[in-house]
Copies of this chain bind each other. A is one copy, B any other.
């Protein structure tokens, strides 16, 4: 038997008991008369003590131990003389009678501590050691807890978990599909799903009514800092529902998770914001509403006073930073530099300081009278001590720049507390996006997304204005999930394909089997998918999803631990009826 207890469970009430523990050696302190060892397992740390009166073979063995050795220890629980209130086992220690080395360890390439000296490269190569560190272990335990709670909630709401296939079919639009050559069907390929979209819609046609799955999805794209070629979704679909049925169910799920995983209760409904308002007030379709600082459109107020920068601008907008009138020249310059960074591309920053003495100072005093500025201040609802920051130019670009500036100010003012959560539904997205290059509309979501019913007439007059019956859940400025009500009506689907420039033949080739399925009684349906990796990292208060994935890949899609991908043998290629492309 390897253990009677784990390393996290012994307490004062166990004093006097003989126990057997197994675990890893976290730390050894040899104080001459006494040697203390911290023994670690998943459940915690227990202090072991060996005194110099122990038999010499035990003392010899102890002196040969090192960090990360795996040992089995027999001993007796005793009360500590100097207690450690920082750990749950801190009131006791185990007086050791015998130690068995279960496995020695080489010196690990980095320290197994909360803060490690291991760089990213080493941590990934020796991920199994990195996973021994508390923060990473806890990230994955949080993920486990969340997965269980997601299922508990959805099961209680009569959702059925159905596994959809991983080996599916590549579509002409699937340029970013991973494909898998079929040995049994030479020259043919499976594809890995970017999402189970079609299958979940087929499950609705099949009458499954409420489906969910926590499922791996795959996308072979150039990876941005925080993307992974394989990622996990909470994927759901419901029949006989309208938008608000879906929203209330998944708002319920989100509240359940906050309550049972984080101990945070949301008693109010989540805020809803239209895509239009999100863009207008935050310059983003995923605004961080932990703080206000909404944009105010100052275009009308500022124009026509002879300031050419503003007069020539399509849009002028401002934000009000409470209490920042005291910002120094240097601070203002920093902000100006910030918005001029190439990835933001702002041209310049105008400020208006609402001084404590009631005066107003600004970088555009030359063009605007104190009365002009006061009127602006009133429109901005700026008070004494506040700082108004104004950007101008092309509307789309300026809104984006102002969005970045607002987030930066949020950071500077500590308004983006990781322990505060502000969920938000963004609704009424545009259905279509015009692609100037190929001169046609694309579906912003996918071609099965239903338009808002009242916007259907606009298909003929102004397709750009048609709003989708689609929705995103955004928390703290992070897009957690999105979905839509789907089109279940054949005529409407045909109309949609026309607008997207599909010929009936194109539509048949790309979506044939789904269209066929829809002929046999498709119910009205809609759904949503949450990015599970992202949701976990948000709950864990981390910026990166990396530590919420047990074995992540790097930005080149490579697993440096197992060194994958890798070449395969020519026999294997031959078996699969493929060869490498000669260059």
- The reply to whether B168 and A559 form a contact with Cβ atoms under 8 Å apart is yes
**Is A31 close to B, CB under 8 A?**
no
Interface string of A473-515 (1 = CB under 8 A from B): 0000000000000001100000000000000000000000100
Contact B170 A144 (CB under 8 A): no
With an 8 Å Cβ cutoff, the count of chain A residues facing the other chain is 122
**Chain B residues whose C-beta falls within 8 Å of the C-beta of A190 in the assembled complex:** 178, 564-565
Please report which residues of chain A, range 18-77, place their CB below 8 angstroms from some CB of chain B when the two chains form the complex.
22, 24, 40-43, 68-70
Specify which chain B residues have a CB less than 8 angstroms from the CB of A172 in the assembled complex.
Answer: 569
What CA separation (Å) do A581 and B3 show in the bound complex? 57
CB-CB < 8 A to A143: which residues of B?
162
Chain B residues with CB under 8 Å of A209's CB are 6, 41-43
Contacting B at CB under 8 A, from A218-271, are: 218, 220, 222-223, 229-230, 232, 240-242
Contact A574 B581 (CB under 8 A): yes
Q: Is A132 an interface residue (CB 8 A)?
A: yes
A542 within 8 A of B: no
Q: Is the CB of A166 within 8 A of B230?
A: yes
Oligomer copy total: 2
A141, A175, A184, A199 — most chain B CB neighbours (10 Å):
A184
> Does A436 lie at the interface of the complex (its beta carbon under 8 Å from any beta carbon of B)?
no
6 A-B pairs closest in CB distance: A169-B564, A131-B206, A105-B521, A188-B565, A2-B240, A182-B565
Residues of A within 8 A of B (CB): 1-3, 6, 22, 24, 40-43, 68-70, 102-106, 108, 126-129, 131-132, 137, 140-141, 143-144, 147-148, 151, 155, 160-170, 172, 175, 177-192, 198-199, 202-203, 205-209, 216, 218, 220, 222-223, 229-230, 232, 240-242, 488-489, 513, 517-524, 549-551, 553, 556-559, 561-569, 572-581, 583
Name 14 interchain pairs, CB-CB below 8 A, sorted by A: A1-B242, A24-B207, A24-B521, A105-B521, A141-B160, A165-B550, A168-B559, A168-B564, A170-B572, A184-B220, A184-B557, A187-B580, A189-B566, A191-B568
